[in-house]
Structure 1
């Protein structure tokens, strides 16, 4: 009998797929891929939920995560992807939105929530930012730096190691060609960048198809 497994993608606008008018972002590419495989009659059904919300930090995640997990809980199993940090690390009006210590606490709490519903939890790296906005206050009033991205990714890597989770390193994959793979705002990927992210993530979801 075929299983129905759910995949829940928690994140911000990069999870949502903002600025990709072609494919709808990396999670939507994965959704279509999983659906295509199911229609081809291969293996189990994997239903993916894009739970990305633009501008969200780990503070917002913790408020909604238990409800979202309960609402989308498959008896055959769940995958949980946690993709945060680009908004947490931003500095606005001289203050970091979510400081590193609080970010670490929030991610660990999110992992613990996820563990109640899943044995398959993935932590997703924060992407690099364009040199044009590195350390620059942009029109939204936020300042981000690649130095902070590395600090926060270090926290994610440490938590992944401590809790035996898989860390998906989009940062390393996109870093060298970031000026070509990011959109004009220097934060979100363009369709090429999202496409590359999907290529990296497809082998992960293949295991459940």
Structure 2
């Protein structure tokens, strides 16, 4: 039995996808169908996404959440963070790049106590309708900062000898087709695209 733990924010939770429930739910249904219909290995996908969460929140709950769901056999841990960390609200940065790096470094170190199968997923692009545009009382994001934080994720993965899943590059080619009206969260097509990028990793354990 293999357990896949997906930690993240509202994009991992599946916000703006009421029909299919986001990329984790798509993967969960696929794994269960393979198990029941094709006698595959049992692979469980746990959605541990919380809307609005940053790496600060992740640090507070990672160990407890993981211990409650860890398999005695095989485990995979995915981290999908940064969209809120890099955001600014009322000109205040939620989590600085330095703190983003140190938070993830600490959590990755903890994750290594449970498994060697650790993955960090790139931050997604945002729509041109919200890129670099300041709206009162709303979070401000820009492509420039996304690329900066993504580079840090890539460096962290290299330093820790874990896998960096670059969804940004391919998603960015047709991002307006994959994003919901708010310009931040994926739509149905976008969530399916994310699931398709992660699926080959999960499939190895079926």
TM-score calculated relative to the size of structure 1: 0.96
Q: Is 195-204 or 48-57 further displaced after alignment?
A: 195-204
Q: Is contact 2:90-2:136 (8 Å) kept?
A: no
Residues 141-184 of structure 1, C-alpha deviations (whole Å, 9 max, x = no match):
21000100000000000011111111111111110111111000
Residues 3-50 of structure 1, C-alpha deviations (whole Å, 9 max, x = no match):
x11110000000011001221111110000110110124332111100
- Provide the aligned C-alpha RMSD in A: 1.0
Mapping 1:161-176, distance limit 5 Å = 161-176=158-173
2:54 maps to 1:57: yes
Q: Is contact 2:90-2:137 (8 Å) kept?
A: no
After TM superposition, the runs of 4+ consecutive aligned structure 1 residues lying more than 6 A away are none
Count of residue pairs brought into register by the alignment:
206
Equivalent residue for 1:6? Answer: 3
Q: Is 155-164 or 41-50 further displaced after alignment?
A: 41-50
Q: Structure 1: any 5+ residue segments left out of the alignment? A: none
For residues 148 and 188 of structure 2, the distance between their equivalents in structure 1, rounded to whole angstroms, comes to 27
Q: Structure 2: any 5+ residue segments left out of the alignment? A: none
Q: 1:136 to 1:40 in 2, by over 3 A?
A: same
Deviation at 1:139, TM superposition (A): 5.9
TM-score calculated relative to the size of structure 2: 0.97
For residues 73 and 198 of structure 1, the distance between their equivalents in structure 2, rounded to whole angstroms, comes to 22
3-state SS in 2 of match to 1:185: coil
